[in-house]
């Protein structure tokens, strides 16, 4: 190899990161890319990004291969190579996200992406989405839900393996029914801090979209339902306890709040404790929701019995 060629190659390698992020040169059009990347091109009409090509109205920097990979002139002249084009395999998660957000930032669903836990932990778009090898035509996910999410959230996989669970593994629902992986506004329950990434049904907890009968308003509200949300008593992913409760036996769960102690509760005088009529030695009184059946709220009874 001539020394000039070696020098050129050396400089190209040195410049690779910069070129990869901001490839220079002119736009050559997607049909040129077809010559060397036929596998990608011949499937691309099934890709959501093909819309920009079909419209024939977008500017070169916003359409086709070069819309994401940058101008291809240098890449063509060099007969390929990742150093001469914006190759996503060389981009950091943040750089990849910035590239995608050029077009995808306008959506309300992604308006909190910069403060989402995923972004803060360097989980970028390309970790979950695969543009050319997507398994789902919608959202172009690299794997199907929930397996995509289980890849990192092993503990959540464990929770959905429990005997009581939301039917995610059965294919009835997916993680994104309740979560927005791109970040959400602060929750309107608890203290607006946690949980992260849980969607809202307009402005209330996402659970109410399906469990709409719990929404109310009720004449007699059970305050923790509104103040602390469903997680005050339920483990939403899965549990070994019936009804996804946080305790296997319901009375222990109720008594831990209804102990009359401290400055807790609606009026700051403690959550009311049971009356002496409740004989906790008698099994009849150990199943609280046997009588307090409308525990989420009632229109007929202040003690949620009817």
**Between residues 131 and 227, which has the closer beta carbon with respect to other proteins?**
227
User: CA–CA separation, 234 vs 303, rounded Å?
Assistant: 20
Q: Report, in Å, the least distance between residue 31 CB and other proteins.
A: 13
Considering only 29, 131, 186, 195, the residue that binds other proteins (CB under 8 A) is 186
Q: Report, in Å, the least distance between residue 204 CB and other proteins.
A: 7
Q: Is 147 in the site for other proteins (CB under 8 A)?
A: yes
Binding mask 32-71 for other proteins (x = CB under 8 A): ----------xx-xx---xxxxxx----------------
Q: Is 132 in the site for other proteins (CB under 8 A)?
A: no
DSSP 8-class letter at 274? P
Asked if 189 and 228 count as a contact pair (C-beta separation under 8 A), the reply is yes
Stretch that binds other proteins, among 26-34, 65-73, 76-84, 273-281 (CB under 8 A): 273-281
Q: In this structure, which long-range contacts are made by residues 290-296, counting pairs with CB atoms below 8 Å and at least 24 apart in sequence?
A: 295/222, 296/214, 296/216, 296/218, 296/222, 296/225
Tokens matching residue 138: 């919608």
In the window 212-251, what residues touch other proteins (CB under 8 A)?
212-213, 215-221, 223-224, 226-228, 232, 240-243, 247-251
Q: Is 210 in the site for other proteins (CB under 8 A)?
A: yes
Among 194, 164, 189, 159, residue whose Cα is nearest residue 175: 159
Stretch that binds other proteins, among 4-12, 30-38, 78-86, 109-117 (CB under 8 A): 109-117
Asked if 216 and 223 count as a contact pair (C-beta separation under 8 A), the reply is no
Asked if 62 and 100 count as a contact pair (C-beta separation under 8 A), the reply is no
């Amino acid at each position: 190899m001539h020394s000039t060629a070696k020098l050129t190659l050396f400089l190209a390698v040195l410049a690779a990161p910069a070129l990869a992020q901001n490839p220079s040169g002119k736009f050559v059009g997607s049909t040129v890319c077809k010559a060397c990347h036929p596998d990608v091109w011949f499937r691309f009409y099934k890709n959501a990004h093909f819309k920009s090509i079909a419209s024939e109205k977008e500017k070169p920097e916003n359409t086709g291969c070069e819309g994401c990979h940058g101008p291809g002139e240098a890449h063509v002249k060099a007969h390929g190579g990742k150093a001469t084009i914006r190759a996503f395999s060389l981009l950091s998660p943040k750089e990849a996200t910035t590239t995608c957000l050029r077009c995808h930032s306008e959506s309300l669903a992604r308006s909190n992406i910069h403060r989402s836990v995923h972004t803060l932990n360097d989980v970028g778009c390309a970790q979950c989405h695969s543009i050319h090898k997507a398994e789902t035509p919608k959202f172009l996910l690299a794997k199907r839900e929930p397996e995509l999410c289980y890849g990192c959230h092993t503990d959540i996989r464990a929770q959905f393996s429990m005997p009581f669970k939301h039917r995610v593994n059965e294919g009835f629902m997916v993680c994104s029914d309740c979560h927005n992986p791109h970040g959400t506004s602060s929750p309107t329950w608890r203290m607006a801090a946690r949980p992260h990434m849980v969607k809202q049904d307009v402005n209330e907890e996402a659970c109410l979209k399906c469990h709409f009968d719990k929404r109310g308003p009720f004449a007699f509200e059970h305050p923790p339902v509104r103040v602390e949300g469903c997680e005050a008593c339920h483990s939403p992913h899965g549990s070994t306890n019936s009804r996804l409760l946080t305790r296997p036996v319901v009375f222990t769960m109720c008594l831990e709040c209804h102990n009359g102690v401290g400055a807790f509760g609606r009026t700051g005088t403690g959550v009311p404790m049971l009356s002496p009529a409740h004989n906790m030695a008698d099994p009849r009184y150990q199943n609280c929701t046997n009588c307090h059946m409308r525990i989420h709220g009632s229109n007929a009874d202040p003690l949620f019995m009817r």
